[in-house]
Amino acid sequence: MQVFILIWFGQLVSLIGSGFTSFSLGIWVYQSTGKVTQFALISLFTSLPGILISPLAGALVDRWDRRSCMLIADTGAGLSTLLIALLLNANRLEVGHIYLAVAVSATFNAFRWPAYGATTTLLVPKQHLGRASGIVHMAEAASRLISPMLAGLLVVTIRLEGVILIDCVTFLFAMVTLMLVRFPKPKITVENKVEKGSLLHETTYGWTYITARPGLFGLLIFFAVSNFFIGVVTVLVTPLVLAFTSAAVLGTVLSIGGSGMLVGGLVMSAWGCPKNRVHSILGLTLLGGLCMLFAGLMPSVPVFFVVTLIYYFSVPMINGCDQAIWQSKVPPNVQGRVFAVRSMLAWASLPLAYLIAGPLADQVFEPLLAVGGSLAGSVGQIIGVGRGHGIALLFTVMGILDMLTVMGGYLYLPLRLLEEQLPDA
């Protein structure tokens, strides 16, 4: 457990540094271009490379030393961030350079997260996996809480170049913590020996494993569909809030989300998952859909504060319960492959969400609720008209669709009875 905490702390520091860069570059791109589509493409290039390479990365993680995988990932991501700082310092940074750098970083991170998740299973007793997931999500929450607030101050005092250099230092810190420990080796089981073969076979093994278990496959499809709606909303949070207030208030909204996530992570780390983890996932996802709905129907700063806090409070619980299910149902020696395919499929809908979110906002929904727009006299009487209200309508639609997805997940019996029908590994 001490090894796990040390690794976690290194990743926490690195996540905070990456949050500085992510927040600062996102604001820079949106204010430089004024286009939601250009801003959304950052999220596309952040997610797509990792999704495409995940199955291969998972097979290699099961073959290679997992600490080495995480070290390589930190090195590659850190160098890509350093490249942005150098281009910025030379006054040659362009939006295309940012897309390339985040794509390279995402490729390396495709190796980090399967190695991190699979190693956690070996370090933490099964009954505490839910708490461990809560602790992992606390790191992300701390990043969301601290990074937006500090990034705004740091950009003013040390400029964007300094913020990015801090991120590079945090990568080095994470690497030092990894070099201080040794990772346990997974036990080689009979199942693993039988399945071990060519790299191509190992790459496809994760898919075979998941599809042979309808409950796990149903859980995966549920997250893939829900993540699409969440992806559209996530990429439009910044444009929506900036349509009604300033960048400083946007930082506050995002920090409030981090606070909610931190509290949710603390709850998970203290008490673990509820007894029925599937029902918890479905119920909390329904709550998230309601938050999207209210943010769209009543777009204003106070509403943004409340729904952001509630929504992000549920995120660590949803993801923690999901992670605990997979860690308890999948043998540790094949988790690299299975988790990589799981990540690829669960997040495969995000690139599409990021790709269409900008055009939907700029070309469809914003014109509908512009002054004199097609829906200004009907829906506009409820939501309002003018800049940002079309994005609010899109939030409303995504919230309704997300709640319908929860209903479909509950009606699918193998998913609802997953924990009773599928034994622990």
- Whether residue 76 has pLDDT greater than 70: yes
**For residue 22, what pLDDT band results from cuts at 50, 70 and 90?**
confident
Interval 29-57 mean pLDDT: 74
- Whether residue 251 has pLDDT greater than 90: no
**For residue 205, what pLDDT band results from cuts at 50, 70 and 90?**
confident
DSSP-derived secondary structure letter, 185: P
**For residue 194, what pLDDT band results from cuts at 50, 70 and 90?**
very low
> In angstroms, what CA-CA distances link 323 with 14, 196, 207?
21, 25, 17
In terms of average pLDDT, the best of 106-110, 203-207, 270-274, 288-292 is 288-292
- Whether residue 191 has pLDDT greater than 50: no
At residue 362, what is the residue type? D
Interval 64-79 mean pLDDT: 82
**For residue 310, what pLDDT band results from cuts at 50, 70 and 90?**
very high
Residues 133, 319: Cα–Cα separation, whole Å? 8
- Whether residue 376 has pLDDT greater than 70: yes
CATH number at residue 331: 1.20.1250.20
Angle (CA) 344-360-398 rounded to 5° is 65
Angle (CA) 163-164-169 rounded to 5° is 95
- Whether residue 258 has pLDDT greater than 80: no
Interval 261-276 mean pLDDT: 78
What pTM does this model have?
0.69
**For residue 202, what pLDDT band results from cuts at 50, 70 and 90?**
low
Average the pLDDT over each of 200-204, 246-250, 279-283, 292-296 and give the range with the smallest value. 200-204
Angle (CA) 83-87-92 rounded to 5° is 155
Domain count, the chain: 1
Average the pLDDT over each of 221-225, 303-307, 333-337 and give the range with the smallest value. 333-337
Which structural domain, as residue segments, surrounds residue 341?
2-421
